[in-house]
């Protein structure tokens, strides 16, 4: 567990090739994080968290579980370390588009590394999700850029308003023949469903098998998804692995996020609530690794 920390992140939008040490603008953020292993394997945690305070980058990884060889946890750690190195090498003077392209290439490079390692060592299940956020300032506005594969999620809470889902899972929802707006509506409906009652047959199948992903780092090929969302001081960015959003409905997550002004307390409360739900009997209960990362942008 890591307590509340104040980070200063310098972001400057200038042409590539300028002095990478030069800084003209600053913004700050607070961060709280908590991760907890599954009750099914308390001796190991197959999730991982990355925070690079200088680059303004933060990410969660969720290794493929269910295998006794522990490859999922290895994949999450390998991906974290590989992405962390590439982020450290990322030039700071880049536009939002250039940052996006760099991080997408980083995802592809990490995927190829895991895939090659998996094939060379005949190691089944060396695969992981990744949801990465990067706070970028451009033209006087702050933006949350996300790059993700799999079903770990990014959300934004605007002040005291409604928690908005930023990412769309790589799950069975994507095989339902819907446009993006339709898929987002289905994901929102499933995210607030306590049971499968009242769902359509296709939605019930997606709800029942919501832990299945259609791509992740370590696959033969991937197509990372990106989003760009404007954020303001006071907004909170939330990253979760599915051990959180499988157990808790989105309304519960929103309430927990709003329950404390302290971002670390919010992260702790969310993991504890998910752990309690996972021990119950019910359609949402899922004993899994649980990870929450809360980032609040401040002046």
The CATH code for residues 2-15+23-167+216-298 is 3.60.40.10
**Residue from 118, 117, 107 nearest 217 by CA:** 107
Alpha helices in the chain (DSSP H): 71-88, 96-120, 180-191, 201-208, 242-245, 250-258, 263-278
Domain ranges across the chain = 2-15+23-167+216-298, 172-209
Number of other residues whose CB lies within 10 A of the CB of residue 259: 13
Task: Please report, for residues 60, 123, 252, the alpha-carbon distance to residue 183 in angstroms, rounded to integers and kept in the order given.
Answer: 23, 33, 21
Q: Yes or no: say if 163 and 250 are a contact pair by the CB < 8 Å rule.
A: yes
pLDDT at 66: 57
Q: Yes or no: say if 147 and 107 are a contact pair by the CB < 8 Å rule.
A: yes
pLDDT at 15: 31
Distance, CA of 103 to CA of 145 (rounded, Å): 10
Distance, CA of 137 to CA of 45 (rounded, Å): 34
Going residue by residue through the chain, which has 299 residues, state the pLDDT in tens, using 9 for 90 and above. Answer: 333 332 233 333 333 233 344 333 356 889 999 999 998 889 889 999 999 988 999 999 999 865 555 566 789 999 999 999 999 999 988 999 999 999 999 999 999 999 999 888 887 788 999 999 999 988 888 999 999 999 999 999 998 789 999 999 999 999 999 999 999 999 999 999 999 999 999 999 999 998 899 999 999 999 999 999 999 999 999 999 999 999 999 999 999 999 899 999 999 999 999 999 999 988 999 999 999 999 998 87
pLDDT at 17: 30
Beta-ladder partners of 291: 35
Collapse the DSSP code of 293 into the 3-class scheme (helix H, G, I; strand E, B; otherwise coil) and give the result: strand
C-alpha count within 13 angstroms, C-beta hemisphere, residue 260: 14
Please measure the distance between the N-terminal and C-terminal CA atoms of the chain and give it in whole angstroms: 25
Task: Please report, for residues 48, 81, 128, 172, the alpha-carbon distance to residue 220 in angstroms, rounded to integers and kept in the order given.
Answer: 22, 20, 13, 19
């Amino acid at each position: 567990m890591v307590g509340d920390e104040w980070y200063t992140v310098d972001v400057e939008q200038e042409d590539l090739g300028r002095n990478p040490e030069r800084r003209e603008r600053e913004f700050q953020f607070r961060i709280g994080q908590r991760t907890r292993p599954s009750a099914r394997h308390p001796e190991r945690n197959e999730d991982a968290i990355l925070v690079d305070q200088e680059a303004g980058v933060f990410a969660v990884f969720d290794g493929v579980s269910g295998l006794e060889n522990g490859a999922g946890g290895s994949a999450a750690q390998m991906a974290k370390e590989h992405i962390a190195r590439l982020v450290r090498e990322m030039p700071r003077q880049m536009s939002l588009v250039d940052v996006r392209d760099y991080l997408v290439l980083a995802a592809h490079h990490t995927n190829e590394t895991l895939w090659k390692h998996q094939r060379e060592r005949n190691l089944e299940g060396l695969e992981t999700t990744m949801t990465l956020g990067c706070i970028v300032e451009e033209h006087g506005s702050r933006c949350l850029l996300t790059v993700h594969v799999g079903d770990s999620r990014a959300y934004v809470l605007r002040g005291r308003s409604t928690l908005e889902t930023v990412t769309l899972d790589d799950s069975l929802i994507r095989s339902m023949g819907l446009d993006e707006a339709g898929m987002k509506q289905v994901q929102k409906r499933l995210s607030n469903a306590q049971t499968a009652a009242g769902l359509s047959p296709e939605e019930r199948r997606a709800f029942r098998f919501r832990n299945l992903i259609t791509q992740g780092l370590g696959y033969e090929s991937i197509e990372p998804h990106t989003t760009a969302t404007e954020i303001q001081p006071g907004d909170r960015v939330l990253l979760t692995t599915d051990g959180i959003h499988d157990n808790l409905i989105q309304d519960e997550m929103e309430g927990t996020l709003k329950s404390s002004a302290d971002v670390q307390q919010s992260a702790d409360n969310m993991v504890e609530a998910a752990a309690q739900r996972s021990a119950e009997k019910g359609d949402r209960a899922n004993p899994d690794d649980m990870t929450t990362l809360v980032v609040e942008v401040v002046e």
